């Protein structure tokens, strides 16, 4: 495809793009976009048809603005229809069938179906690199011991990419996600006694931390060599992040990625998820591998700095089943490179606040984002977990119930303290959502334990999420 990625010494690979000014980086993006569009025009029937329908030819893409304005958006529904009409990969595969050496599929959590991605050897190398690079930025180095708590294998990029990333990082990796219980993971860590790095979902790190507390073990004391913890998948309140850093004695890092992006699309640098001044940190976009636009989902126009919008994704260096202006339905806050510091001219996303437009609940005329409730609930240090339920009662009223579980150390909290906690939480949730919710404290065993992505909300109304 030209301008290949160099895989080898990570710092040597990273240094050239770190030195690029913004104009130089955008020139590199444009060259790779033009190359990708040209390749898809000649070898990908799916995108050729979309470009022809939009009356745009490759030679007419002379700037990033041309690309943003003229190339049509593709959606999950487009991909699913293509796969159905031309199974199993659809016409968007874009490479010879015999070049496909790995099949990835999306998790299907949206309920709409699973997208299929056929990847080449080159794409597998990119996937490994897109996992290694964020961990290197967080401090992982060859020979260090890494605990991978994300379930491995399966069909998603998130299950296959991490082992490849740790392999090319030269780390000593333990892939314990989905194979060992939480207590067995802790026993393994104590047995080896030296752990430098942990990779986990936001929710599983919460579960792991609570298990350490239940056993009376302080990780900061048991593993003083810990360099970093890297999380992915869900949002969180700043209070929780600060508590995690104190409990573990290291910086907390975050990445944003997807199967469509072939791995991480953005990640924190050395600074982590909390800035020195206490504000939320920044995930830097890996812009020379994936081109990201943040747009208003209603108008399609770019959002202003500091505003939230939808992530529109384009692969710059993927051959098999590439995405071109793909509507992710992920919501993020855009922060321009000038506000990031550190000398890199890469645009950023705010940490801890990425959510799904599809997750929004319409309740009594209000748009309720689960992340807003997460942020309110987990700001309380006593809370271990919660689940939410929206339903219509016998009187035809829409009601919202939240069931909370306390951490073991607070399980003996008295009735008055419990009433104070639920009252304070109920008020905070009302302020954030404009919806009054009913709160109840239950035993921890009555709530699920999430090992990867959490699905805390159920909508039992007949009209579902569109109500």
Strand extents, DSSP E, 296-341: 308-315, 326-335
Same domain, 302 and 366: no
336 and 433 housed in the same domain: no
pLDDT at 79: 97
φ and ψ of 9, to 5 deg:
-65, 120
Band of residue 375 on the pLDDT scale cut at 50, 70, 90: confident
Burial of 412 (0-12, 13-18, 19+ CB in 10 A): exposed
| C-alpha 240, offset from chain centre | 18
The pLDDT of residue 7: 43
Question: Which DSSP helix (H) or strand (E) runs through 206?
Answer: helix 202-214
Number of helices (H) and strands (E) in the chain: give both, helices first.
Answer: 13, 20
- Closest to 447 measured CA to CA, from 199, 276, 207, 155: 207
Axis-axis angle for helices 157-169, 121-138 (nearest 10): 70
83 and 151 belong to one structural domain: yes
Out of 356, 389, 416, a domain closes at: 356
CATH code at position 21: 3.40.50.12780
Q: How confident is the model at residue 4 (pLDDT cuts 50, 70, 90)?
A: very low
Residues 332 and 409 in one domain: no
Is there a single domain that holds both residue 265 and residue 366?
no
In which element (H, E) is residue 105 found?
Answer: strand 102-105
pLDDT of residue 108: 65
Q: Is the peptide bond before 207 cis (omega within 30 degrees of 0)?
A: no
| Same domain, residue pair 284 and 409 | no
Average pLDDT, the chain: 91
Distances (CA, A) of 373 to 150, 336, 382, 457: 25, 27, 16, 10
Same domain flag for 276 and 295: yes
pLDDT tens string 202-228:
888 988 998 999 999 999 999 999 999
Pairing of strands 355-356, 457-459: unpaired
**Range 154-177 average pLDDT:** 91
pLDDT in tens, 9-54: 677 778 889 999 999 999 999 999 999 999 999 999 999 999 999 9
Among 333, 356, 379, which residue terminates a domain?
356
Q: Are residues 201 and 326 in the same domain?
A: yes
Same domain, 116 and 81: yes
The answer on 365 and 350 residing in a single domain is: no
Tell me the CATH number at 389. 3.30.300.30
Query: Is the per-residue pLDDT at 409 higher than 50?
Result: yes
CA 91 to chain centre: 28
Instruction: List phi, psi (to 5°) of 408.
Output: -55, -40
- Whether residue 110 is predicted with pLDDT greater than 60 in this model: the reply is no
Q: Which of 291, 323, 356 is a domain's end point? A: 356
| Residue 103 to residue 320: CA distance in whole angstroms | 10
Residues 234 and 291 in one domain: yes
Count: domains in the chain: 2
Q: Are 116 and 87 in contact (CB under 8 A)?
A: no
Q: Are residues 262 and 379 in the same domain?
A: no
DSSP secondary structure of 342-396: TT----EEETT--EEGGG-EEETTEEE-HHHHHHHHTTSTTEEEEEEEEEE-TTS
Domain span at residue 404? Answer: 361-466
């Amino acid at each position: 495809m030209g301008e290949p990625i160099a895989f080898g010494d990570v710092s040597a690979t990273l240094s050239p793009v770190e030195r690029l000014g913004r104009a130089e980086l955008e020139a590199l993006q444009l060259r790779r976009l033009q190359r990708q569009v040209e390749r898809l025009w000649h070898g990908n029937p799916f995108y050729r048809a979309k470009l022809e329908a939009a009356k745009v030819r490759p030679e007419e893409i002379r700037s990033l603005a041309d690309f943003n304005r003229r190339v049509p958006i593709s959606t999950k529904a487009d991909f699913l229809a293509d796969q159905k009409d031309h199974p199993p990969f659809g016409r968007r595969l874009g490479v010879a069938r015999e070049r496909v050496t790995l099949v990835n599929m999306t998790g299907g959590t949206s309920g709409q179906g699973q997208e299929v991605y056929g990847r080449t050897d080159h794409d597998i190398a990119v996937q490994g690199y897109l996992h290694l690079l964020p961990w290197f930025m967080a401090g992982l180095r060859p020979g260090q011991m890494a605990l991978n708590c994300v379930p491995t294998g399966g069909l998603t990029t998130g299950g296959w990419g991490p082992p490849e990333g740790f392999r090319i990082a030269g780390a000593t990796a333990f892939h314990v996600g989905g194979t060992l219980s939480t207590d067995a993971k802790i026993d393994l860590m104590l047995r080896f006694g030296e752990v430098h790095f942990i990779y986990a979902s936001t929710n599983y790190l919460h579960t792991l931390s609570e298990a350490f507390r239940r056993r009376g073990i302080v990780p900061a004391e048991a593993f003083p060599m810990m360099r970093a913890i890297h999380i992915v998948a869900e949002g969180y309140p700043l209070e929780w992040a600060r508590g995690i850093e104190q409990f573990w004695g290291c910086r907390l890092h975050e990445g944003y990625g997807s199967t469509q992006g072939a791995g991480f699309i953005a990640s924190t640098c050395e600074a982590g998820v909390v800035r020195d001044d206490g504000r939320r940190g920044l995930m830097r976009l890996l812009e020379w591998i994936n081109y990201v636009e943040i747009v208003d989902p209603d108008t399609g126009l770019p959002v202003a700095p500091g505003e939230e919008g939808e992530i529109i994704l384009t692969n710059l260096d993927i051959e098999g089943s590439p995405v071109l202006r793909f509507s992710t339905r992920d919501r993020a806050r855009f922060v321009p490179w000038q506000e990031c510091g550190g000398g890199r001219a890469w645009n950023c996303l705010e940490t801890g606040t990425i959510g799904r437009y599809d997750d929004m609940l319409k309740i009594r005329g209000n748009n309720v984002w689960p992340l807003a409730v997460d942020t309110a609930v987990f700001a309380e240090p006593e809370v271990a977990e919660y689940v939410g339920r929206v339903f219509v009662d016998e009187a035809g009223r829409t009601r919202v119930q939240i069931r909370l579980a306390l951490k073991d150390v607070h399980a003996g909290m008295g009735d008055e303290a419990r009433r104070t906690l639920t009252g304070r939480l109920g008020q905070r949730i009302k302020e954030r959502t404009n919806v009054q919710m009913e709160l109840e404290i239950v035993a921890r065993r009555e709530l699920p334990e999430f090992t990867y992505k959490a699905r805390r909300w159920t909508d039992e109304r007949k009209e579902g999420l569109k109500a």
